Amino acid sequence: MVNRWQRRWFVLYDDGELTYSVDEHPETIPQAIIDMTKVLEVTTADSITSHPHSIAITAPDRVTFVKGTCPEESKWWFNVLVAFPKSKGRHKRNATFPGGQATTILQAQSE
């Protein structure tokens, strides 16, 4: 099986739901949902994926690899995501977008 990187749009909600879909349109049905309140750890993954700016999101049932398009984007997402397993989420339902820009996209590795 060949793993390849595919461009995806990520949204993290305050209640811990991290969704990703093929584009930034809110009406697009997410391809997957990661419950960040159940994530065991978030780590850098450059040495595992051999791709710069990559992050591993380790949940009880799977590991999801994502990467930013630049070091600043990856660092921003890493800092947001690494804090979530420690905080175990909140109960609001607001979305987190990097810098308020609709152009920020992380990439998810397809398995």
DSSP class per residue in 46-70: HHHHS-TTEEEEE-SS-EEEEE-SS
**What pLDDT shows up at residue 83?**
85
**pLDDT-based confidence at residue 109 (cuts at 50, 70, 90):** low
**pLDDT-based confidence at residue 102 (cuts at 50, 70, 90):** very low
**What pLDDT shows up at residue 42?**
95
d(CA 20, CA 110): 12
- Tokens at residue 103, please? 């152009």
DSSP 23: S
**What confidence tens digit (pLDDT) does each residue in 30-76 have?**
999 999 999 999 999 999 999 999 999 999 999 999 998 899 999 99
**What pLDDT shows up at residue 87?**
65
Looking at per-residue pLDDT, the higher value among 70 and 14 belongs to 70
Q: Which residue has the tokens 């990661």?
A: 34
Domains identified in the chain and CATH numbers: 9-88 (2.30.29.30)
DSSP 29: P
